[in-house]
Amino acid sequence: MIDGLYALLARLGFDEPLHSPITHMPIGLVVGALIFFLVAILFKRKNLILSARHASILALVFAFPTILLGVFDWMHFYHGVLMPAIKIKMG
């Protein structure tokens, strides 16, 4: 199943890992939530706390596909070999 997905994407011209581009989504949302929260505190804007909460929830939602695609990349490119770098990332 995983190899079929990567074969399809390779036929379309995308032969890179899938985990890398989607990793930016939860990281950016966490940074955005922090900025919303800090601006809400500094300028006493209560409505920005709700924006920070929404960004945090979206970051949590995007964390799951990011982890899943990381496992897919590991299985496809490294064939599931537990190298020290992979063990550190899992920990």
Distance CA 79, CA 22 (A): 21
Q: What is the pLDDT of residues 67-86, one digit of tens each?
A: 999 999 999 998 889 989 88
- Phi first, then psi, for residue 13 (nearest 5°) are 100, 5
Q: Where are the alpha helices (DSSP H) in the chain?
A: 2-11, 19-42, 47-77, 84-90
Q: What is the pLDDT of residues 25-35, one digit of tens each?
A: 999 999 999 99
Q: Which pTM does this prediction carry? A: 0.83
